[in-house]
Amino acid sequence: GAVVSQHPSRVICKSGTSVKIECRSLDFQATTMFWYRQFPKQSLMLMATSNEGSKATYEQGVEKDKFLINHASLTLSTLTVTSAHPEDSSFYICSAKYPGKGDTQYFGPGTRLTVL
């Protein structure tokens, strides 16, 4: 149990285009999901908290118009990087809170985004 998937695992795009990343909880319903960014050899930086049916809560310094988050169902949250630029290249990881286990979070496998 507690499986979280992400799609795609890798994506390469041209500068100026938009990229959508999906995060799914496969065997449980997650009212809350989180999106992180991780640079090489660094820690996980929380970008935003995604709650089903409501607007995402962004961390300070994260542009909400650039990183669009939609949590339309209890098993799916999406992150869209709009007008991507090379500096947006990174490893993006989502996590989902497991119901009934307090604040326990399980992570997806991550998406490697490369913007050319």
Partner 1 sequence: GENVEQHPSTLSVQEGDSAVIKCTYSDSASNYFPWYKQELGKRPQLIIDIRSNVGEKKDQRIAVTLNKTAKHFSLHITETQPEDSAVYFCAASTGGTSYGKLTFGQGTILTVHP
Which spans of this chain sit near partner 1 (rule: CB under 8 A)?
4, 32, 34, 42-46, 49, 51, 57, 93, 95, 97, 102-110, 112
| DSSP structure string for 83-101 | S--GGG-EEEEEEEEPTTS
Q: What single letter denotes the amino acid at residue 68?
A: L
Q: Which is nearer to partner 1, 78 or 95 (CB)?
A: 95
For partner 1, give the closer residue by CB, 68 or 99: 99
Give Cα 45 distance to the centre of its chain: 11
d(CA 32, CA 26): 14
**Nearer to partner 1 by C-beta: 36 or 75?**
36
**Shortest separation between residue 102's beta carbon and partner 1, angstroms:** 6
Q: What's the min distance (Å) between Cβ of 13 and partner 1?
A: 20
Smallest distance from the beta carbon of 61 to partner 1, in angstroms?
12
Other residues' Cβ atoms within 10 Å of the Cβ of residue 51: 16
